[in-house]
Chains A and B, each alone.
Chain A
Amino acid sequence: MDVGRISRRQFLGGLGGGAGALAAANFAPIRFEAEAATPPSKQHQWAMVVDMRRCDGCEKCTEACQVAHHLPKSFQWIKVHKRTTKSGQEFFMPQPCMQCENAPCIRVCPVGATFKDPEGVNLVDQDRCIGCRMCMAACPYGVRYFNDTDPPAFDNPFGRPTPQYPVPQQKGTVGKCMFCVHFTAMGKLPACVEGCNMYALYIGDFISDIATNGRETVRLSEFLKDNDAFRYKEELHTGPRVYYIAGHGQDLGF
C-alpha cells in the first residue's frame, strides 16, 4: 500500500466498522483527521496555468500528449475547446485534468482506483479500476476517458503499466491526464507544456511558487494575481489546480 493510497481522503471518511467488517482484509481505512494534520509534501505541489491569451488552438499540446501516452486520436487528455465570448469572439481553452483538491472522482471511486499522489496529482490505478465510470459521472470537467477499445499496442519499456506511467492503457478502465508525472519525476516538462508552440501552458509548483512554460519562468502566485487568473467552475468547490488567464474579454466565470 503506497503513500498515495493511504493518504486518500474521502467524504464519509472513516467507516471502521460496518463496511470494513463486510469488506475483506484489504479494506483501506480512510484516515480522515490524521491526514488533515499531515502537511503536504515539501517536494512539489503541481499546478498548471493556461494563458488563453496565447493559445491559438493548434492542438499541438493534444498531439504531444497522445504521443507521450500512446493514445488513440479520440482520447484528448488535454482537450482544446473552441469557445466564443458573448460578443462573438472566438477563443481557445485547453483543458487538462484539473487535479482537484476535493476531487469528486476520488470520492466516488468504489475501489479506490483513483487517488491523489503526494504531489497533488490524481492518478488512476488501472490494475484496480473496474470500469464502472462513476468517476466520469462525478467529474464536472469531463476530462476522464473510458478505454472502450484496445489501446494502440505499445511495449512498455518498464514492464507493466503503473499509475505513474499508464502506458499502454488497459481496455475497460478509465484513464486521464496525470500531469505527466513520469516526466516531472525525471525533471522534464509535461508533454503538453513542452509541445506548446505558443508557450501558453505553464507547469507550476505551489511549494517553490514557480511556474514555467519552458521559456519564461514566473512567480506562480504573483503571476496568477497580476493576471486575474481564475479557475474553471470554481463555484463547485472542487479546488482545481489548473488556473486560466483570460485576456480577450471572456467572462471570468464563463
Chain B
Amino acid sequence: MRGFVALFRREFRDARWHLAASFVVAAAAPWAVHAWMTAGADDEVVAKIGGRGVVPILFALFVASAASDLVARDVATRRIDALAVLPVPISTVWNAKALFLLASSLAMLVWLVAAEFAALAFGVSGKAAAWLPSMLVAAGPSIAGGLALGAASLFFSTLVDRGMTAALGAVALIVGIAWGVHWAEVPATAGLVTLVAAYAVPLGLAAAFALASRTSFVRGPIHGPSKPRLALAGLVTLLGIVLPGGGVVAFGMERAAHLDPADGDPSRREAYVSPDGKWLAVEDGVRGPGSRSRTWLFGLGDDSCREIAPGNTWFAGGGAWTPGSMLLVRTSSFSVVSGPRHVRQLEVEPKGLGVADSTWIPAETVESGPPGWAWVRTEQTLGPGRRVYAITSLGTFGSMRYTGRQVQPGHRSDTVFVVSESRVLSRITRGSPRDERTNELARDVDAVLQVSADDRHLLLDGDSDVRVLDATTGAVRFDATRERAKWTEDGSRVLLWDEDASHSVTRFAVHDLDAATTIDLGAPLVRDRLPRVSVLRDRRLVVCDGDVTLRAADGKVIRRLFPPPAAGEKGN
C-alpha cells in the first residue's frame, strides 16, 4: 500500500503544473464565456450554455489532456523502465496512474461546477444560478462522455509516445464511435432504457478504453520492445468489450422499443383516418417506465396492415396526416450526437411507405403540436370572470390581447371567439391589424367553448346542457341535456358521452349536424378515456375506443381493424 501511495504521489508531483494551470483556466473560463458570449441572454439560456456546454466541454478537455500524457510521457522519456523495475506488479503502476486520473478528474468536475455556479450567481443573476442544477443533471451523459474521451486518450497514450497524438487519436475515435452509434439508428424510446443507455454507453466506453489501456500496459508490456504486441493486446480487449457490449445495448434497446400489435395499452391507442378516406393510421403504445409506441397503416379498401416505419414511432400531436394525405410519423433513435434521442419527423407516402422527407426535431420540442394561425400564449386572472389572454399569431397580426371569461382562436381563419365578462359570446374577425369586426353570437354563455375544425360551428359544453351554434350567425344547430360533448376529430360530428360519478365514460354517440341524427355507439371498451370517432365519406365510422372498429353508418360493427384479428386472438 505504501508503494501504491508513493506511485500516486509521483503522478501528482509529475502533473502538478498541468493541474495548476487547468484549475486556473477552469475558474476563469465561465466568467469569460458569460461576460462575452452570453451577455444579454435569458437566464435559462445562460445557465444552459454554462451547465450543458461550458462544464462538460472543459471537463472533457481536462480529462483528455491529463490522460494523454499519463503514459506517453513516461515511455517517451524512458522513465517507464524505472517504474517497471520496482518490486510491484506493473499493473500497480497503471492502477496508480488510473486512480490519479480519476481523482483529478472528479476534483476538476467539482471545481468546474463550483466555478460555473459562482460565475452565474455573481456574474449573471441568482435565477441563472438556480437553473444550473437542472442543466447539470441534463448534462450527465455529456459529462460521462468526457470520461470516455479521457479513457480513450489514456488508451492512445499507452500506444503512442506523444501526448498530443494520443489526444487527437482519442477525439477522432470517440467522434467516429458517436457518429457510428448515430448512424446505426438503434430505436430509442423516451423510457428508462434510453436514459440508462445514455449513461451506460459513455461509461461502458470509458471502462472498455481503460481496460484496453491496462491490458496493453500490463500484457503488452509497455516497457517491452514490441509495439505491435502492445497495440494488439489493447485492441483485442477493446473490441472484446465494445462489440458484445454494444450489441447487448442495441439488442436491449431494440427489445425495449418492440411492441406487437396486440400488446399496446388500449387506452393509449389512437386511430387517424386519412383525409382521402383510404387509409387508417393507428398508433399503439405503452406508457410508464417502459414507454414505447409503434404505428401501423391499414388500407380501408384492401384490409392491408403494415408497420409504417421500424422502431419507436408515433404521430405528431396534431395528427397523423397532412392535408394532402401524407403520413407524418415521428421516430426516435439512440444518439450521443443530438442527445439520448434523435427524433426525426418522416413524411411518408402511404401507398409504398416511402419516406418523402425527413426532418430532425430537437428532442425538447417534440411534444408540442403544430400551432394554428394563433394560440394563447399566456393568460392571467384579474378578478372573477375577468382574465387577460395574450394571443400570439402567425402572419401580420403579431401579438393580441383580449379580456374576458374565455378566448378561443379559430383554427383556420383570422378569427377569435371571446366570451366577455358579461357572458356575451362574440366573434371577432380581423381583416388587418387595425380592422377588427365584432359579431355578437349569444348571451348568458356559461359553458366551455370549443371551435369546430372547420370554424363553422361552436360547441358550448355546459354543466347541464350542450349546445352547438353556427359560428357566423349564432343560430342554435343542436341542443341536448345532461351529456358531455366535443367535436369529432374531423370536426364534422359532435361526439356526445355520458360519465358516471368517477368520470368514466358509460356511453357515447355521435350527432350529425347536417342530418340532425344521433347514432348511439353504446359503451366504450376503454372507459377512462374518450373514444375517437372518424367519419368516412361513405358515412361509415371508424371508432377507436380501445379497439379500432369499422362501423356502419348506423353504428353497427362491421369488423375490428386493430388489433388485427390474429394478433388480437394471440393477445387474448
Co-assembled chains A and B: no
